[in-house]
Amino acid sequence: MRILLVLAHPLEDSFAAAVARTACEALEASGHVVDLLDLYAENFDPRLSKAERGGYFDIPYDTSAVADIVARLKAADGLILVFPQWWFNFPAILKGFFDRVFAPGVAFSHDAAGGRIVPQLTHIRLLYALTTTGSPWWLVRLYMGDPVRRLLKRGIAAFCSKRLNFRMLSLHDMDRATDAKRRAHLDRVRKLLSAIS
Residue range 2-194 in CATH 1.10.10.10: no
Q: How many CB atoms neighbour CB 116 within 10 A?
A: 9
What's the burial of 190, exposed, middle or buried (CB within 10 Å: 0-12/13-18/19+)?
middle
Torsion of CA 169, 1, 5, 17, to 10 degrees: 70
For residue 68, pLDDT over 90 is answered with yes
pLDDT at 123 over 80: yes
Distance, in Å, from the CA atom of 98 to the CA atom of 95, rounded to the nearest integer, reads 5
What is the sign of the dihedral through the CA atoms of 53, 11, 156 and 193?
positive
In this prediction, residue 77 has a pLDDT band, given cuts at 50, 70 and 90, of very high
Does a cis peptide bond (omega within 30 degrees of 0) precede residue 104? no
H or E element in which residue 167 lies: strand 165-171
Predicted TM-score (pTM) of the model is 0.94
Would you place residue 162 in the very low, low, confident or very high pLDDT band (cuts 50, 70, 90)? confident
pLDDT for 135 equals 87
For the chain, give the mean pLDDT: 93
Domain ranges (residues) in the chain: 2-194
